[in-house]
Amino acid sequence: MIQLYIANKNYSSWSMRPWVLLRQAGIDFEEVYVRFDSFAPDSQFKAALKGVNPVGKVPVLVHDGLAVWDTLAIAEYVAEQFPDKQLWPQERTARARARSICAEMHSGFTGLRSACPMNIEANLPEIGALTLRDKPAVRSDLERICSLWSGLLAEHGGPLLFGDFSVADAYFAPVVMRLKTYALPVPADVAAYMDRVCALPGVKAWIDDALAEQDFIDFEEPFRVAR
């Protein structure tokens, strides 16, 4: 049995990616929830991951005694273990493109990610408007995301980035959450894609669980003092 160590679903964008990938693909796994309490070396969060992941972070996938961490590594491992699920596009150039945009997400869009942390339960349109007004990096990231998604949807005919569900859609699902929380403006085709992503059973299950947590963690809340 696969185990997947994750943190709070409302806040943990990194945890969301492999969880949605596994759930949407219909791959059985055991969820191991590790609540954020602090990132200090002596925190309960770090203690729970000690011996599982040497860097003390989530997500971590454990399978047959092997621990795999980092979302890209997890995605590649799962795709290799379950080739019948076709988690990457089957056509060579589309597959290369999908890997490229996942790597871009992995290392980029730092303006959006730092200014607009994932918070599924929150509704922060005023923060989104101010962020767009004051932060050129966020405007640049939003423009790139909209251009990227629009181009792929037009090229592959939708409904998802490469037609059928793939790692790329799981990888960008937390971005969809951010754009919705902060009400960042997007063109109609991108908005429709976002709605389709939220309607995917794997994504909807994550959102429902995030809303049910009812867990306010102050150090994950730069814009609110209470729920």
CA–CA dist 156, 189 (Å, integer): 13
Tell me the one-letter amino acid at 85. Answer: K
* pLDDT tens digit sequence for 55-108: 999 999 999 999 999 999 999 999 999 999 999 999 999 999 999 999 999 999
The domain of 29 spans: 2-84
In a domain, 217, yes or no: no
In a domain, 158, yes or no: yes
In the structure, what pLDDT confidence band is assigned to residue 131 with cuts at 50, 70 and 90? very high
Tell me the one-letter amino acid at 184. Answer: L
Secondary structure letter of residue 186 according to DSSP: -
74 and 102: one domain?
A: no
97 and 78: one domain?
A: no
Q: How many domains does the chain have?
A: 2
Residues in contact with 226: Cβ distance below 8 Å, sequence separation at least 6, in sequence order: 216
